[in-house]
Copies of this chain bind each other. A is one copy, B any other.
Amino acid sequence: MLDLLANKWSALAIGALEAGPHRFGALQRRLQGVSPKVLTRTLRRLEATGLVARTVYPEVPLHVEYELTELGRGAAVPLNALRAWVEDHIDQLPR
A contacts, CB < 8 Å to B: 1-3, 5-8, 10-12, 48-50, 71, 74-75, 77-79, 81-86, 89-90, 92-94
CB distance from A95 to the nearest CB of B (A): 9
With A3-B8, A12-B2 as contacts: A82 and B92 at CB distance below 8 Å: no
B8 touches A90 (CB 8 A): no
Taking the full assembly, how many copies of this chain does it contain? 2
A interface, over-half SS? helix
A71 touches B89 (CB 8 A): yes
30 sample A-B contacts, Cβ–Cβ < 8 Å, listed by A number: A1-B86, A1-B90, A1-B93, A2-B8, A2-B11, A2-B82, A2-B83, A5-B86, A6-B6, A6-B7, A6-B8, A6-B10, A6-B79, A6-B82, A7-B7, A49-B93, A49-B94, A50-B92, A50-B94, A71-B89, A71-B92, A75-B85, A75-B89, A77-B81, A77-B85, A78-B78, A78-B81, A78-B84, A78-B85, A81-B82
